[in-house]
Amino acid sequence: MAEFVGGFGVPHTPLLWHLMDGEVPDDLVPVKAAFRRSRAQLEAARPDALVIVASDHFHQYHHGVMPAFAIGKADHIQGTHDNEERSFGLPAVEMPGHPRLAESILGREQLSGGFDFTFSNAPVLDHAYVVPLLYLRPDMDIPVVPIHTNTNAPPLPSAQRFVDLGHHIRAVIREHPERIRVAVIASGHMAYELGGPNQFSGRSTDPEFDAEAARWMGQSRLDAAVEACTFDRLTAAGNLTLQFLNFLTLAAIAGRPADEVAPVECRFGNEPFFTWEAS
């Protein structure tokens, strides 16, 4: 049986990599400190495998082919696309995969758990996966199972489906035959707008949403989150707020209130940091 040993909800804003290299601007000092704290907590958890729940930004998946949920199950996984290297200075990376755990989540002969997952034997991860790993596990030495969720191209899975996905992954971890320690990383945003008039305004685009989101994580109120996280409510908070749904999956995997809810306000709004330690 595998064991869940920690959950980490973090941001993946790609501009952070360049801005926090060298002398860090004052407003980003707490962001870097939060990543450093999460890194230490992940290291203390001693995971043998990482499940990473995030959303591809039209790199591997796009409007022509957009699965609701997809799993990477390769032995070796590449990260960072060419335009992300050019635009953000992110390095190209490679990491081991964990195809056995991926197959447990996906199913071997038949798809498991009522989820019609798509899968890729040659995933290339974008900044939604790479930025968290650069800060939390820069050696890229722990085998990963990347799980893509569609939060970018309507129609999207409902908030309840993100919770159901978390319940499925939680059950799979419990039943997986290998005795391994599994940590889960989810990346996304709180209220966040990109390209609109409130982009990089130095404040949250929707402080009321952010306050509610923190309560949902801190109190494990997934029922309230599912009711509130409609497409219209999320997009009203900012056009990338939809990626908050990834944290619902993480909270459902953990199955209890977060041990730490510590969003950090900076030029990008509130950067999310949620932590669940091993129960």
Q: Residues 18-48, buried b or exposed e (16+ Cβ, 10 A)?
A: ebbeeeeeeebebbbebbeebbebbeebebb
The pLDDT tens digits for 95-117 are 999 999 999 999 988 888 788 89
Q: 197 pLDDT band (50/70/90 cuts)?
A: low
Q: 199 pLDDT band (50/70/90 cuts)?
A: low
* Distance separating alpha carbons of residues 105 and 103, to the nearest angstrom: 5
- Token duo for residue 80: 């960072």
- Token duo for residue 89: 């200075």
* Distance separating alpha carbons of residues 235 and 105, to the nearest angstrom: 30
pLDDT: is 259 or 196 the higher one?
Answer: 259
**Phi, psi at residue 44, to the nearest 5°?**
-65, -25
Alpha-carbon dihedral sign for residues 62, 246, 72, 14: positive
Which residues lie closer than 8 Å to 265 by C-beta, 6 or more apart?
A: 27, 203, 204, 271
DSSP state letters, 81-99: -HHHHHHH-PPPEEEEB-H
Considering only CA atoms, which of 188, 207, 176, 193 is closest in space to residue 251? 188
Q: What is the mean pLDDT of residues 180-189?
A: 98
- Token duo for residue 150: 């569609």
pLDDT of res. 6: 98
The pLDDT tens digits for 209-246 are 999 999 999 999 999 999 999 999 999 999 899 999 99
Q: 263 pLDDT band (50/70/90 cuts)?
A: very high
Considering only CA atoms, which of 127, 144, 261 is closest in space to residue 188? 127
pLDDT of res. 113: 74
Query: What pTM, to 2 d.p., does this model score?
Result: 0.96
Instruction: Look at residue 156 and tell me whether its pLDDT is greater than 80.
Output: yes
In total, how many domains does the chain have?
1
- Token duo for residue 97: 């995969």
- Token duo for residue 275: 């932590």
* Distance separating alpha carbons of residues 224 and 3, to the nearest angstrom: 28
Q: Which domain holds residue 161?
A: 3-277
Considering only CA atoms, which of 155, 145, 144 is closest in space to residue 67? 155
pLDDT of res. 14: 95
pLDDT of res. 2: 93
CATH of the domain at 160: 3.40.830.10
Provide the angle, in degrees to the nearest 10, between the axes of the packed helices 245-254 and 159-175: 40
- Token duo for residue 130: 């790479």
Instruction: Look at residue 60 and tell me whether its pLDDT is greater than 90.
Output: no
